[in-house]
Structure 1
């Protein structure tokens, strides 16, 4: 694709619109404007043109403005109330302090364009200046009533503190890397942290490049408010009825809910089983408690479920050693683990308080064990108001039991 040919033949440059669908109403809430170029009978994407830094900035800016102008005028003429997502290169708009860009946007506002319906998509990882410069641009844009989305998270290495500092309205997560059907465990954890951060700063999560059912499921489980991708709708030269994808999404959501319901039921069943077996293992134990013998006894009673057992007090200090099942299936006891403190772990205090208040055990979420380097769950159970036993359950057991992972 020759850049000069594109600039000299702007009559062949035009926008396509890819729908973005809301999770709550299952309706199209807006469209991302994407550049296209017609070569003979073929229509090609202009993404490589905009991503090529060797092409002069003025060429890229000219074509970007030409595409945006066409889209904005269509929205104005049709009096559309959808959100319009416009990709912009922040490096280009700050060359003159943003004056040209803001004057241009104000011209559309004077014609009736509602700024609150515009979302500017910025790629923070492609910005060459100081982050404070980008922060200033975002703040100014938001002060005008325009929304800002940080784009391509998932492809980039943007840190959570940078996202919090820039404080966008929308965070776009790219799922293109999942085309090989893999869902890396560490990425799940990172996305969970991103989901929590987005909620705390008041930003909505938008998952893009959803091309398959399992990617939609992943986005749904991560708390996506908006969905975008070929699985739902490809970029087209026109617009669709708002409810085009409602039936598909409702069927998919129903499938997700049914599956998650089965998982929750299986987790409750496991929790009840563990509670009953622990009550049986503890019923004949007398005071004072020999922590090490009790730990070994519980490990032996539950060896079909657990690979590690230990006891802590309410302050998080380990009162026993670790009973650990080795690779040969034999129990080993590590006295040296006594007096370790685990109160620094997330949710430790909350779980202790809950166990004291509710008088029952708690099954953790899946997490990666730092010693086994595999995903496990931990079941914690109150022995009394001061002592709590922790049962670590291996991934192999969880995998064998349907819906526990």
Structure 2
């Protein structure tokens, strides 16, 4: 059965149903009634709740925003819930209720919601090269959102809006599927690095079944796919993350940790999770050829990775000097603007001759 958490949106520009409104005290309900009457909205007064039939929550919130009808305290004390046609009011339905303050914050994420609702995520690709011979061994898939006017929403904005408005589950699922679809459409060969957010997954066997299904449908050999943990340093539940990585491995996929070395949790993560690949954070790589502190961290991480049988990928390479240093100190793979910037079509780079 599909998970409603990641496959449905809390706010839709299209869905209509019965809008329920209530307040923490009776006085707030009276204020609500005054607003509805001024706006000319037809409602049913059920005592401690107001019902607006054939309503769209998105449109209602736009009216609230335009009228500037409630102060901050009132917005925090008024709650709203949209029941879809034929849906009965149940205890489970209350999990979707939010305060007006929360709904209006979600309205600010309307651009992301439109992208999610229309499934307009696309993936761009950046090559990953082997230090041994400079050959392209694969690509990292990088998320982009297409707005209706054709402009792009980049990951910083996407994940900031998603995190602030409880949309990470929906974004993460669509992002993984977009990576696979776009890579298949572009005929990408070699390894494909696909990012995922561990905190957006409840149970890997259930939450990841659509991703595994897409991989099979599109004919990806599991050995080609590397599922990459983003924001590695922010992971709080190592046991949960280990279950996710074990699930991927059991299906034949490889796993990687991103941004390794950017905080104190890295060494514990390496020993506990033993990923196939670590991506050393670009903040360590940047200017490493002239920074002894960065060099010390890099050498320590490479040494631990060697002991654990983990491949090392140095990301964020921008200069020949940075490349020469990480290559000389044991990096297996490299990635960065020196070789190619992310692009909707894989850059025409077969090999980088730097020796």
TM-score > 0.5, shorter chain as reference: yes
CA distance in structure 2 between the aligned counterparts of 1:200 and 1:166, rounded to whole angstroms: 14
Alignment partner of 1:229 is 2:341: no
Alignment partner of 1:198 is 2:297: no
Contact 1:29 1:242 in 2 (8 A): no
SS of the counterpart of 2:265?
coil
2:168 corresponds to which residue? 60
Q: Which runs of 5+ in 2 are unaligned?
A: 1-106
1:74 to 2:182 alignment: yes
- Cα deviation for residue 178 of structure 1 reads 5.4
RMSD over equivalenced CA pairs, Å: 2.6
Runs of 4+ in structure 1 displaced over 6 angstroms?
none
Contact 1:153–1:172 under 8 Å retained in 2: yes
Distance 1:100 1:197 in 2: 32
Alignment partners' CA distance in 2, 1:172 and 1:74: 23
Which residue number in structure 1 is paired with residue 133 of structure 2? 25
2:115 and 2:145 in contact (8 A); partners too:
no
Q: CA-to-partner distance for each residue in 1:206-236, whole Å, 9 max, x for gaps? A: 0111122222122212211111111111000
Q: Secondary structure at the match of 1:9?
A: helix
Residue 165 of structure 1 is matched in structure 2 by 272
Q: For 1:212 and 1:46, how far apart are their aligned partners in 2?
A: 24
Aligned to 1:135: 242
Using the alignment, how far apart are the partners of 2:295 and 2:271 within structure 1?
A: 19
Aligned pair partner of 2:200 in 92, 102, 108: 92
* Equivalent residue number for residue 70 of structure 2: none
Give the alignment's TM-score, normalised by structure 2.
Answer: 0.62
The question of whether the paired residues in 2 share the 8 Å contact of 1:35 and 1:47 is answered with no
Of the two, which has the highest radius of gyration? 1
C-alpha distance 54-181 of structure 1, shift in aligned 2 (>3 A): same
Unaligned runs of 5+ in 1: 254-405
Report deviation, 1:102.
Answer: 3.1
CA 1:107–1:35: 2 relative to 1, 3 Å? closer
What CA distance in whole angstroms lies between the structure 2 residues aligned with 1:47 and 1:29? 27
Shift of 1:37: 2.9
Closer/same/farther in 2, CA of residues 52 and 207 from structure 1, 3 Å limit? farther
Aligned ranges 1:96-111 → 2 under 5 Å: 96-111=203-218
Distance 1:51 1:200, change over 3 A: farther
1:5 aligns with 2:114: no
SS in 2 for 1:14: strand
Q: Mean alpha-carbon deviation: is it higher for 135-144 or for 104-113? A: 104-113
CA 1:198–1:17 in structure 2 vs 1: closer, same or farther (change >3 Å)?
same
Please state whether the residue corresponding to 1:125 is helix, strand or coil: helix
Displacement after TM superposition at 1:117 (Å): 0.9
In the TM superposition, 1:308-323 aligns within 5 A as none
Q: Structure 1 residues 145 and 218, CA, compared in 2 at 3 Å: closer, same or farther?
A: same
Q: 1:230 is paired with a residue of what secondary structure?
A: coil
Q: 1: distance between equivalents of 2:291 and 2:315?
A: 18
Residue 186, structure 1, aligned to residue 186, structure 2 = no
- Find 1:214's aligned residue among 316, 321, 341: 321
Give aligned pairs, total.
245
CA contact (8 A) 1:7 1:63 kept: no
TM-score normalised by length of structure 1: 0.55
Aligned to 1:115: 222
Partner of 1:345: none
Q: CA deviation at 1:177?
A: 4.9
